[in-house]
Amino acid sequence: MHEALLTLGFGLVAAAILSLSALAFTLEYSVTNVANLSHGEILTVGAYCAYLVQQHGGGVILSGLAAAAGGGLLALAVHNGVVDRFVRRGIGGLPTFIATLGVSLVIQNVLVIIFGASNLGYAVPQGAPRTVGPFLWTDTEIQIMVSTVVITVLLYVIIVHTRFGKSLRAVSQNRSLARVSGINANRVAALTWLLAGLIGGYAGFILAESVGTFSPYSGFSFFLITLTAAVAGGLGRAVGTLAGGIIVGIALEFFGGYVSASYNLAFAFAILSLVILVRPRGLFVGGRRSVFE
Amino acid sequence: MIDYLVTVLTEGSIFAIMALGLNIVWGWSGDFDLAFYGYVALGAYMTLVLTVGPATNPTTYILGLTLPFPLAVALAVVSAMVLALIVGAIALRHLRGIYFSIVTLGAVYVLYVVTGQYVPLFNGYNGVSGLFDPMGDVLGLDYSSYSFFYLGLCIAVLIIVLLLTTRLNGSRFGLALRSLREDERAAAAFGRDIYVTKLKAYVLGAGLGGLGGALYAGYLTAFNPSAWSPVETIILYAAILVGGRGSTRGVVLGVAVMVMGLQEATRYLPEIANQPSFAPALRLIITGVVLVLFIRFRPQGILPERRFRDKDPAGKGDAAAVEAMVAGPKLDTGAA
A96-151 pLDDT tens trace: 999 999 999 999 999 999 998 889 988 887 777 888 877 888 888 899 999 999 99
pLDDT averaged over every residue in chain B: 86
Mean pLDDT within A273-280 = 78
In the predicted model, is pLDDT for residue B239 greater than 50? yes
Q: Please tell me if residue A259 touches chain B, with a CB cutoff of 8 Å.
A: no
- How far does B136 lie from chain A, in Å, by closest CA? 38
ipTM of the complex: 0.87
Residue B226 covered by a domain: yes
User: Is B254 part of a structural domain of the chain?
Assistant: no
**pLDDT band with cut points at 50, 70 and 90 for residue B317:** low
- What value does the mean pLDDT take over residues A256-277? 82
Contacts with A, B 18-37, CB within 8 Å: 32
Nearest to A106 among B114, B288, B295 (CB): B288
- Between positions 200 and 229 of A, the ones with CB within 8 A of B are 224, 227
What is residue A59's predicted lDDT score, i.e. its pLDDT?
87
Q: How many residues does chain A have?
A: 293
Q: What is the CATH number of the domain that holds A39?
A: 1.10.3470
- What's the gap in Å between the CA of B283 and the closest CA on chain A? 9
Nearest to B109 among A93, A260, A265 (CB): A265
Nearest CA in chain B to A96: B295
Whether chain A has a CB inside 8 Å of the CB on B101: the answer is yes
CB contact (8 A) between residue B284 and residue A35: no
pLDDT over 70 for what percent of chain B? 89
pLDDT of A34 > 50? The answer is yes
More confident residue, A232 or A46: A46
Return the pLDDT at A272. Answer: 83
Q: What is the pLDDT of residues B34-56, one digit of tens each?
A: 999 999 999 999 999 999 888 87
Identity (one letter) of the amino acid at A28? E
List the domain range (segments joined by +) for residue B201: 2-230+314-326
Task: Give residue B308's pLDDT.
Answer: 65
If you average pLDDT over residues B209-226, what whole number do you get? 92
B323 — pLDDT class (breaks 50, 70, 90) = low
What pLDDT, on the 0 to 100 scale, is given for residue A289?
A: 40
Q: Hey, which residues does A131 pair with through a beta bridge?
A: A136
CA distance B117 to B113: 6
- pLDDT-derived band of residue B24, with 50, 70 and 90 as boundaries? very high
Pick the closest to residue B180 from B28, B24, B32, B21 (CA basis): B28
Tell me the average pLDDT across B215-234.
85
CA dist., res. B332 & res. B192, Å (int): 7
Percent of chain B residues past pLDDT 90, beyond the cut: 46
What residues in A contact B234, CB-CB < 8 Å? Answer: 101-102, 105
Confidence of residue B313 (pLDDT cuts 50, 70, 90): low
When pLDDT is cut at 50, 70 and 90, the band that residue B333 belongs to is very low
Three-class SS state of B301: coil
| A289 is a domain residue | no
| Structural domain includes residue B131 | yes
Kindly state the helix (H) or strand (E) to which residue B155 belongs, with its residue range: helix B143-170
Q: Is the pLDDT score of A285 beyond 70?
A: no
Q: What was the pLDDT predicted at A236?
A: 75
Examine residue A151 and state whether it is found in any structural domain, yes or no.
yes
pLDDT, position B113:
86
| CA distance to partner chain B, nearest, from residue A71 (Å) | 20
Q: Which of A36, A271, A275, A276 to mutate to probe the B interface, most B CBs <10 Å?
A: A276
| Per-residue pLDDT, A288 | 38
Comparing C-alpha atoms, which of B281, B236, B251, B302 is closest to residue B40? B236
Within 13 Å, how many C-alpha atoms sit on residue B38's CB side? 26
Looking at chain A, the whole-number percentage of residues with pLDDT higher than 90 is 55
Burial of A160 (0-12, 13-18, 19+ CB in 10 A): middle
Domains contained in chain A, number: 1
pTM metric for this prediction: 0.87
Position B144 pLDDT exceeds 80: no
Task: Find the mean pLDDT for residues A164-193.
Answer: 93
In total, how many domains does chain B have? Answer: 1
Taking one residue from A and the other from B, the number of pairs with CB-CB distance under 8 angstroms is: 119
Q: Which domain covers residue A8, as residue numbers?
A: 2-278
Domain membership of residue A203 (yes or no) is yes
Give the Cα separation of B199 and A7 in Å (integer).
Answer: 42
Please state the length of chain B: 336
Residue A79 lies in a domain: yes
User: What's the confidence (pLDDT) of residue B273?
Assistant: 52
Task: Supply the mean pLDDT for chain A.
Answer: 88
Q: Is the pLDDT of residue B319 over 70?
A: no
Give the span between the Cα atoms of A39 and A219, in whole angstroms. Answer: 8
Which residues 217-256 of B have a C-beta within 8 angstroms of A? 231, 234, 237-238
Query: Does the distance separating the beta carbons of A105 and B234 come in below 8 Å?
Result: yes
Q: Is the Cβ pair A99, B32 closer than 8 Å?
A: no
